[in-house]
Amino acid sequence: MSQEEEVLGKAYDSRLMARLLKYLRPYRWQVAIALASILLKSFADVLGPYLTKVAIDRYLAPAQGVSSGLWSWLSPRAITGIDSRCRRISSENCSTD
């Protein structure tokens, strides 16, 4: 095996990395900002689906027997559910007059 094949087969060369990092020294703040932005972006990528999960689990599909959130007025019979919700709201408004 020749020396060229040995160099190509190496996955990480610490001397080369140290030499490349010397070129980044004048741009220290830009590199730090870029790395922080990458971390923030990766956190935001995970946060979106998590917030969707929380919204569905807490507000759109509550546990069995719990009558709160959207399901209190969006029943399987949507017209009846909306009608009962509207009547309840209108009776609350009339009773406070």
Residues 18 and 45 in one domain: yes
Residue 1 lies in a domain: yes
Residues 73 and 94 in one domain: yes
pLDDT, position 33: 97
Domain residues for the domain of 93 are 62-97
Residues 29 and 67 in one domain: no
Residues 66 and 38 in one domain: no
Residue 57 lies in a domain: no
Q: Over its length of 97 residues, how does the chain's per-residue pLDDT go in tens digits?
A: 566 656 566 777 888 889 999 999 999 999 999 999 999 999 999 998 998 888 888 777 655 655 555 555 554 556 666 677 777 777 766 655 4
Residue 56 lies in a domain: no
H-helix segments, the chain: 3-9, 14-24, 28-55, 78-95
pLDDT, position 60: 75
Maximum CA pair distance of the chain? 94
pLDDT, position 57: 80
Number of domains the chain contains = 2
